Chain A
């Protein structure tokens, strides 16, 4: 089909310029929807990291002394396992505790350097079968006096609230984002339809002189793709900016200590970036694909 890169670039550029206001509308819609989507994702990841050890119904954690003996560990373990009020127990050894510590304090490098794996307290994460606060408190306190136990930490009410609020907020934000994504697809579709209308005479001549269907289609498809990608790039910048602002505003706030564990790992950020680019391409391809197949009679 001998597609000429310069030809496609020129035609796509002309189309984008000719319908500048519509193009801008599509790009902005893609950008806003993807920013919301990305922000919801990043926030959920951050809260997930922050409250990782309180997942799965864990209500309290029995921290052992780092130098606790094997007998002391076994004793606490069997007491927990034999207790009918306890639904499940998870043992976190020193290595696992150190990994978690590193993630939790990813922001303070000197803190990580100051501590080594041997100093980490092993712990038991306990999910009780009864969710009543008094029962849980009584259950946990039994272990405070046991040999080798350093302390018993209960799930903060704030952690529970955080998890709940985050879940609801994420669902709402993602729902709004999905609506906007649909709007973005429709806007791209219309922009391309306008571009086709503006070029209908050229398309007619192209067909009559024997231009292949793909030759006619490709500039319009690339136009949609470009809109999606520009929107995604703007969204990525937006998400990074939000993350930065959040980092500065909340994580350094001494009154909201819990947010010090709010950290997005590099891997998670790369994942979000790739996801947004992928979604941007998908939106652009979908919008232009529908437009080309429905309105371009080639």
Chain B
């Protein structure tokens, strides 16, 4: 599903965020990216979404070499990739329903599809009672559920999550992880960057550890350290 071949990413000023990375992630896997701040976790995720271009090497997503993808095709790549952020990135002037519907609307989905899919996904994330609330009226955990609903409403093949529990307390984080686990069980590949030792150690999934841009560990059913 995801393959990195000798991928190096060097930012301006010779700062290497990723060095000669080789990774193969199969369909349906759940992968934790761990490492200190600045170790290259976010770069790893941004490369998969083609927000960044690798300096060297090739990246395959869903069988396609995304380095050779034309600019106008990038939106179609992103329709196959859900994206969840630490800071949620919800639109404050739209309700929960509208925030999720927006993701379908802007990729041209017809109204009847939106009407049936949005309530279904909000039920999955457990927010049926909050459809008409605005993000400012929700707790952090609820906001992250909306963000996950938005990322998953289009049923992407891959879900990328960049520190999704970074702003949440441990109890709320457990709920979010249960949700991501549930999404993973539907066959969606999940790649999650995190600092949260407790989560990684409890879930016991594949762990890729990065240190100054190098992959120093790639372990199935791993722990944080």
Contacts and interface: CB of A to CB of B under 8 A. Distances in A.
Contacts of A3: 108
Interface of A: 1-4, 7, 201-202, 204-213, 215-216
A209 B154 CA distance: 9
B105 A4 contact: yes
B79 to A, nearest CB: 4
B103 A212 contact: no
B38 interface: no
A210 B89 contact: no
B120 interface: no
A211 B107 contact: yes
Given A201-B89, A207-B78, A213-B71, 11 more contacts: A3-B108, A4-B108, A7-B105, A201-B91, A202-B102, A209-B79, A209-B103, A210-B154, A212-B107, A215-B107, A215-B108
Contact of B79 (A4, A7, A202, A210): A210
B21 to A, nearest CB: 23
Interface string B116-157: 000000000000000000000000000000000011001000
Interface of A is mostly: helix
> Which 9 pairs from chain A and chain B are nearest by CB?
A2-B108, A210-B78, A210-B79, A211-B106, A209-B103, A210-B75, A212-B75, A206-B106, A208-B83
Interface in B77-104: 77-79, 81, 83, 89, 91, 102-103
B184 interface: no
A213 B108 contact: no
Nearest to B106: A211
A4 B76 CA distance: 17
B91 A213 contact: no
B49 interface: yes
B90 to A, nearest CB: 8
A209 B107 contact: yes
A212 B108 CA distance: 9
